[in-house]
Structure 1
């Protein structure tokens, strides 16, 4: 038995006190081929300090064998000795048989450091040297994917998938539909998923498929995948907003509300779920549930303008006009959106404060002059206030948006007959 074999046996038996003695004997007595195998095994077992000593011995014996330098450099980089590791790698000349390995180790290092452009340049160099090497093509595809260079990543993944389904632990078909989705080609991604359902094995891939189906407006399929995710892992919080949205688009508001409320049980900070749940509750006529969700959402984020506006509109609907106004009381005018001015106009109108209501309608008008519902309400308000010229101006904007509104057409005609244009 060689000393290298004895050393590996001692490690397996946890006789670590013998390792130094056996390493010295191995370095002094074992053949280079055996030492090279020993270094590789030591690296695999995590004994990198011992492996470094073996590689240094081999480099001293064979100074022109650059592959040993590359292996040592990889260990040094992993151990945080970047300067020494990079010095060894950059010392490998392009003419060397180990130059390709040196480029790949450099690419891995720069990727781990977040220097993706540099890593990609190294990987492109490697691909020029070995254009038919799948590992290099995959590495370049992964870098392109990380760098949002999806147009370049997609054909690489597609080419690899023609020869294999998996590369290491990565499912190439999953990468293809994920890349299509990144490109905004949701219908293609959905079609690809439908043709490769057998690749949706893990919970993350099912979630991604569900999200893509929502984006592709294939809501039934989205519900199927996202339901599977939640059944498998009820605390998979990211799935709930997409599931609620899919149910809403299917006009299944009961399930939309249930999904939102269930999701909030796992993540009470998800503001989107408060909004989706409240919207579903309103469509179901469950004003109390909607109010509860909106108030809870505003406690999570008092600055959420969408939740504030929904609650103000609900307060107005229920005749709680002062409460609607109070929601905007602490805000500066610059923070108020046109929809907020509209809600305040309705509240002031409900309180019979017509001057304040008129002011808010006029503030809302520039931003809502293409909103038919707003224009109709504004026209009726100013008609009741006897401001005929303003009514005509508003109706001139409104009627092209709602040409079939006979009541407003008749009002506009009467105004023109009364006073001309």
Structure 2
């Protein structure tokens, strides 16, 4: 049995001791070409430290071989030996054929570290040497995508797609779909998702298409694709919420509620599912179920503002003032400044004839709600009831500004004056 086959068997069985033993034999008796082949095999199998051992030996034999420096540097970066990797890459001479490849490896390193400007400089330098090299153009497009420069990235991906369908293991139709979707150009993303799905179908691609369709207002298409996602992967949790939302946009509330309940049966710890289930139950008049769903969302995350606001609004509509007060007081104890709840608390305290606390919450709510005519009107009449005429006058003046066509506010101000 040849040494390559021995390595294959040891790697497949995860026999690290045999791999180490074979490396010793390899370095003592095999030719450099065989050693290089085994090093690549080890890299592919994830045996990076063992691959580094072989590449270090080869570099000792061929100290000026640029390709070895690049290969070894890439492995060193993977095992967190960046300093030595950078020394190897920066030692490659500018006149070497491998210099653009070294620049690309440096760009990869700086991109991973978040130094995007430096990474782009390295890629641009490589492109100045090889302006038509697809791998370099693709690398720049990937960097632009990561930094949110979607229009520039699209231009490069489109140019590449005219030459090839796939590069560096990435199908360009998929990447373009992703870029257009990331840039909120959802209608442009849809045909690229369709093209990608002609080659292979995955839950991620189907969901990407469904999400773009939903954002583009094509809710029927979104529903069809999301049901395909569920068929392929019933536990693709994101599909359940989006499917329910799509049915809701189609005003099919029964289907929307059924979809969200199915999602909860598969993921009972997703607060967003409980919130949307609560909203759909409210639409269907299933108030008991709605309250249960909303309270469960808050149990999962006591700081879930949207769920708390929805529940407080529901309790307020049902005139369950004591429960509104209890919820708001609990949040106040935790020192959470949720001003969206204060108008409900003010009204609840007023209904319970606790006017001192009502005044306190109206005052707290004023800062964030002074542009809301409905709140300001309630506040005005509360102040009048409490005999706070000067404060009521100021609120009345603001209402004139908010609703200049409402003659009653001007009349009220004149009567107060």
Question: Into which bin does the TM-score normalised by the smaller protein fall?
Answer: 0.7 to 0.9
Question: CA shift at 1:52, angstroms?
Answer: 2.7
Match of 2:38 among 39, 42, 47: 42
Query: For each residue in 1:332-384, what CA deviation from the matched residue of structure 2 results, as whole angstroms up to 9, or x when unmatched?
Result: 39744443122113322332445544553454344334434435555666677
1:197 pairs with 2:183: no
Structure 1 CA distance for aligned equivalents of residues 326 and 299 of structure 2 = 15
SS at match of 2:62: helix
CA contact (8 A) 1:190 1:209 kept: no
Distance 1:349 1:402, change over 3 A: farther
SS at match of 2:331: coil
Query: For each residue in 1:122-152, what CA deviation from the matched residue of structure 2 results, as whole angstroms up to 9, or x when unmatched?
Result: 3222222111111111122112222333333
Which residue of the partner structure matches residue 352 of structure 2? 351
Which residue of the partner structure matches residue 399 of structure 2? 397
Superposed, which structure 2 residues align to 1:293-308 within 5 Å? 293-308=293-308
SS at match of 2:330: coil
Which residue of the partner structure matches residue 247 of structure 1? 247
**Structure 2 unaligned blocks of 5 or more:** 11-17, 43-49
Question: CA shift at 1:272, angstroms?
Answer: 2.4
Structure 2 CA distance for aligned equivalents of residues 357 and 10 of structure 1 = 81
Question: CA shift at 1:23, angstroms?
Answer: 5.4
Distance 1:283 1:379, change over 3 A: farther
Which residue of the partner structure matches residue 30 of structure 1? none
Distance 1:165 1:323, change over 3 A: same
Distance 1:260 1:401, change over 3 A: farther
Which residue of the partner structure matches residue 52 of structure 1? 55
Query: For each residue in 1:381-405, what CA deviation from the matched residue of structure 2 results, as whole angstroms up to 9, or x when unmatched?
Result: 66777888849955972896697xx
Structure 2 CA distance for aligned equivalents of residues 119 and 129 of structure 1 = 16
Question: CA shift at 1:290, angstroms?
Answer: 0.9
Distance 1:13 1:402, change over 3 A: same
Structure 2 CA distance for aligned equivalents of residues 19 and 132 of structure 1 = 40
CA contact (8 A) 1:55 1:68 kept: yes
Superposed, which structure 2 residues align to 1:262-273 within 5 Å? 262-273=262-273
Superposed, which structure 2 residues align to 1:370-381 within 5 Å? 370-375=371-376, 377-378=378-379
SS at match of 1:96: coil
**Structure 1 unaligned blocks of 5 or more:** 28-34
Query: For each residue in 1:188-247, what CA deviation from the matched residue of structure 2 results, as whole angstroms up to 9, or x when unmatched?
Result: 332341465131332112222222333333333333333322232122122333333333
Q: Number of aligned residue pairs: give it.
A: 397
SS at match of 1:285: coil
CA contact (8 A) 2:389 2:416 kept: no
Structure 1 CA distance for aligned equivalents of residues 53 and 410 of structure 2 = 95
Question: CA shift at 1:21, angstroms?
Answer: 5.2
Farther off after superposition, 289-298 or 313-322 = 313-322
Query: For each residue in 1:21-53, what CA deviation from the matched residue of structure 2 results, as whole angstroms up to 9, or x when unmatched?
Result: 5754444xxxxxxx43x2442123217367437
RMSD across aligned C-alpha pairs, in angstroms?
3.8
Distance 1:50 1:366, change over 3 A: closer
Farther off after superposition, 279-288 or 169-178 = 169-178
CA contact (8 A) 1:376 1:398 kept: no
Superposed, which structure 2 residues align to 1:337-348 within 5 Å? 337-348=338-349
Question: CA shift at 1:11, angstroms?
Answer: 4.3
CA contact (8 A) 1:6 1:22 kept: no
Question: CA shift at 1:286, angstroms?
Answer: 1.0
Structure 1 CA distance for aligned equivalents of residues 359 and 338 of structure 2 = 16
CA contact (8 A) 1:213 1:222 kept: yes
CA contact (8 A) 1:256 1:276 kept: no
CA contact (8 A) 2:206 2:226 kept: yes
CA contact (8 A) 2:396 2:412 kept: no
1:287 pairs with 2:287: yes
CA contact (8 A) 2:400 2:410 kept: no
Question: CA shift at 1:59, angstroms?
Answer: 1.2
Question: CA shift at 1:322, angstroms?
Answer: 0.9
Larger Rg: 1
Farther off after superposition, 387-396 or 44-53 = 387-396
CA contact (8 A) 1:244 1:255 kept: yes
Distance 1:245 1:23, change over 3 A: same
In the superposition, the TM-score normalised over structure 2's length comes to: 0.78
